[in-house]
Structure 1
Amino acid sequence: MCLIVVGWHAHSDYPLVVAANRDEFYARPTAAAGRWPEAPQIIGGIDLEAGGTWLGIAESGRFAAVTNVREPGMAKGRLSRGALTRDFLLSENCASDAINAIDGSAYSGFNLLLGDGETLHYRSNRDGEPRALPPGIYGLSNHRLDSPWPKLLKARQRFAHALKNLPDESEFFAILADDEIVADHELPNTGVSLEWERLLSAVFVRSESYGTRASTLLWRNTQGEVSLHERSFGPNGRPLQSSLISTAV
C-alpha cells in the first residue's frame, strides 16, 4: 500500500478514520476485502502470495496497516511485511507490546501502524524508535511518517476537510481517486527512474502493469461500530468491484 491517511481522535464521533490506496502489481494474487474465513471478526484483504494483509480491522477495534519503504537495490527481508499486520490482528497483544516486540531486521523497509482501540502506535525499521501517536491526522506513503511528498500533503489537507462531512464518504473517495501527476520540479528523489517518479507521484496510480488496486475507507465510531468500504481496480484504473462490510453494536 502506498498511501494511508489516518485521523486518530480527530473527530468527536469517529475516533479512527482511515483512507488508503494500495498500489501493487496487478499480477500479484489478492483476495478482496471481506471477513477472514479463519477469523471472521477480522475484516480486510488478503495477499494470496505471502498470506498477509496490507490493511485490516477487527470488530474489537484492532487496526493494522503497513506500507513499504521505497529503497531500490536493497536486499529483501526474509519475512513478508504483510505478516506484521496479520499477526497483530490475530493476536490479543496491546499495540505497544506488539510493536516493540518486532525484529525490524527481518523485514524489508516498512512503515507500520497498529491500534488496539485505545492507542495508536507507529514503527518503521527506517525511522528510529517506535512511538505512540497523539490525536491528529497523519500520512504515510513509501517514506517516513508525514514525509512532505506532494501527494501526501494534498491528501492529508483534503482529508481534514472530508472529516467534517462524515458520515458522507464521497469526499474521501474523491481524494483517493486523484490521479494528477506532480510537476517534475516537485517530485521526490527516491532512486527510481523519472518515469516511475512521475507515475508514483499521483494519489491514484494508473498503468498497465502496476497501479492502485484498492481504495479503502475504514472507520470506527464512538458506539463501537466498524465499517470498511473498499473499491478495487484493474489495469489502468479499470473499476472492478465495490464491497462494504460493517458491524452494528
Structure 2
Amino acid sequence: MCLILFAYQVHPVYKLIVAANRDEFYQRPTAPVHYWEDNPEILAGRDLEKMGTWMGVTTVGRFAALTNYRDPKELTDGKRSRGELVAEALKYKGNVKDYMHSLAENNEVYLGYNLLAGDANELFYYSNIGQVLQKIEPGIYGISNHLLNTEWPKVKIGRGEMSQIITEKQGDLAGKLLGLLQNSDSAPDGLLPSTGVSLEWERMLSPLFIKSEHYGTRSSTVLLMSEREIQYEEHVFSKDGVHNQKYTIKL
C-alpha cells in the first residue's frame, strides 16, 4: 500500500473511513480481496509471493493497513516481508495496543514501514523509522511512503479532498472516495519530495493514482466502518479492465 487516507471518529455514522491505493510492480502475483481459506475471519487481498497483505479487516471489526517507508539506501538482505505485519495484526487475539507495542522488539527485521491497526473505538499508528507509536485522535490523516501526515503533495491533496467529501450530506460516499483515488495528476517538480530515487521516479510516484510501464496502482479500496457494519469495496486494475468487489460485514 502506498497511500492511505483515513478519517477517524469525525463522521456521524462511520467511525472509520479509509480510502487507499496499493501500488506495486504489475508482475507481482496478487489475489483480490476475499475471505482467507486458512483464516476465514480475515477479509483482505493477498500477496501470493509472500502470503501477507497490505490492508484488511476481520469479521469482528479489526482493521490493519501498511505502507512502505521509501529509502532506497536501506539494505534488503535478510529482511522479512512487511505484509506479514498486517496479517499478524489481524490474527492477533489480544488487545491491538499490546501487539503494536511488541513491534519495537523487531525493528531491524523489516525495512521501513508505517502500520495502522485497531477498530472503530481505538486505532494506533506505528513506524519502525524512529520507533514512533501513536494513538490516533479524531481527525483526518494521510500516509504515503514517509511518516504519518508528511505533507507530500498526494497526502495534502488527498486529506483536503477527503475532508470535503465526508462533509457532503448527499451522494455516494464510497463512489466519491474511489473517484478521489483515481487522481493521476503529477505534482510540480518544485513540490516533489527528495527520497533518494531519480527525479523521473519522483515524478512518476507523485500522483495519488500511479501509471507507468512496469509499476503502478494495482487496486483502490474504500472501507466504511460504523458501529454495526463494515462496507468494504475494492477495485482491481489490470490489462483486462477494472474488477470490482463489495463486501458487507455485520458487527
Q: TM-score, normalised by structure 1?
A: 0.94
The equivalent of 2:155 in structure 1 is 152
In structure 1, the gaps of 5 or more residues are: none
Q: CA deviation at 1:174?
A: 1.2
d(CA) in 1 for partners of 2:166, 2:36: 28
* Equivalent residues of 1:60, 1:117 under 8 A apart: no
| 1:102-181 map, 5 Å | 102=103, 103-165=106-168, 168-181=173-186
SS at match of 1:46: strand
Aligned-pair identity in percent equals 40
Report the secondary structure of 1:39's partner residue.
Answer: coil
Q: Is the 8 A contact 2:120 2:226 kept in 1?
A: no
Q: Give SS of 2:41's match.
A: strand
Gaps of 5+ in 2: none
Partners of 2:241 and 2:8 in 1: CA distance: 29
Counterpart check, 1:216 vs 2:217 = no
User: Does the Cα contact within 8 Å between 1:67 and 1:141 map onto a contact in 2?
Assistant: yes
How many Å apart are 1:247 and its aligned residue?
2.0
**Residue type of the partner of 1:58?**
T
2:199 aligns to what?
194
Q: Which runs of 4+ in 1 moved over 3 A?
A: none
Structure-2 residue corresponding to 1:239: 241
Separation of aligned partners in 2, 1:185 and 1:131: 31
Find the aligned partners of 1:204 and 1:116 in 2 and give their Cα distance.
27
Pairs aligned (count): 246
Which residue type is aligned with residue 114 of structure 2?
N
State the TM-score, normalizing by the size of structure 2.
0.94
SS at match of 2:160: helix
TM-aligned CA deviation for residue 167 of structure 1: 5.3
Match of 1:228 among 226, 232, 236: 232
**Partner residue, 1:43:** 43
The equivalent residue for 1:78 is: 79
Distance 1:30 1:88 in 2: 20
Q: Equivalent residue for 2:27?
A: 27
